[in-house]
Structure 1
Amino acid sequence: MIVDVRTYRVKPGKMPHELDLYDKHGLAPQVRHLGFPLAYLYSESGDINTLVHLWVFEDAADRARRRAAMMSDPEWQTYLRLADDAGFLVDQRNSLMVPASFAPIKR
C-alpha cells in the first residue's frame, strides 16, 4: 500500500473559493477514478492557507493506472482548466508514503 500525500498552498483569502471550486467540479470525477480520499484537510492554524489530501493506492502501478484514467476524463480536464483559470493555488508538494506496520491503515 502507498499513500499519496498531496500538499497545496493556497493564496491568502482564497481557501473557501478553492474548496468550493473543487467541491463543484473536481470531487466527482476524482472520486470516480481514485475512490474517496483517506483525508481532505485544510489548516485552521499553524501553516495557514494549506490544503492536504491523502489518497490510498495498492502500489505505484495502481496509482499510475487510476491517475491516467482520471487525467483522460473530460470532466476532470474541465476542472483542471477552471482551477488554472482561477489561479488559487501557489504551489504543490507530493510524497508517496507507506504506513508503518502498527498504523491503523490496513496494509
Structure 2
Amino acid sequence: MIVDHRVYTVRPTRVADWVALYREKGYPLQERYLGRCVGWYVPVEGRHDQVVHLWAYEDQADRERRRAALYADPEWQAYLAEMKRADLLLTMENRILEPTDFSPVP
C-alpha cells in the first residue's frame, strides 16, 4: 500500500471557500475514481492557510491508473478550470508514502 499525501496552500482567509468548492465538485469525482480517502484535514493550530488530504492505493500503478481515469473525465477538467478561475490555490505539494513494517494500516 502507498498513501498520496497532499498539502494545498490556499490564499489567506480563503480556506473555507476552497474547501466548499472542493466538497461540492471535486470530492465526488475523486471519490468515484480514486477510491480510498484516508482523511481530509484543515488546521486547528499552525498554518491556517493549508489543507491536507490522504488517499490510499494498492501501489504506484494503481494510483497512476486511477488518476489517469480521473483526468480523462470532462467533469474533472471543468472543475479544475473553475478552481483556476476562483484563484484560491497558491501551491500544492504531494508526497508518496509507504507504511513502515510496524504501522497500523488504515
Q: Please state which band the TM-score falls in when normalised by the shorter chain.
A: over 0.9
Task: Give the match for residue 78 of structure 1.
Answer: 78
Q: Deviations over 1:11-43 (max 9, x none)?
A: 111011001100111111110000241011011
- Where in structure 1 do 4 or more consecutive aligned residues deviate above 6 Å? none
Q: Deviations over 1:15-73 (max 9, x none)?
A: 11001100111111110000241011011211221100001011111100000000011
For residues 2-13 of structure 1, what are the structure 2 equivalents within 5 Å?
A: 2-13=2-13
For residues 33-52 of structure 1, what are the structure 2 equivalents within 5 Å?
A: 33-52=33-52
- The TM-score with structure 1 as length reference comes to 0.94
Q: How many aligned positions are there?
A: 106
- Other structure's SS at 1:37 match: strand
Q: Does 1:89 align with 2:89?
A: yes
Task: Give the match for residue 65 of structure 2.
Answer: 65
- The TM-score with structure 2 as length reference comes to 0.95
* Residues in 1 aligned to 2:58 and 2:15: alpha-carbon distance in whole angstroms: 31
Structure 1: stretches of 5+ with no match in the other structure: none
- The alignment's C-alpha RMSD in Å is 1.0
* Residues in 1 aligned to 2:86 and 2:102: alpha-carbon distance in whole angstroms: 41
Provide the identity percentage: 41
Structure 2: stretches of 5+ with no match in the other structure: none
- Other structure's SS at 2:37 match: coil
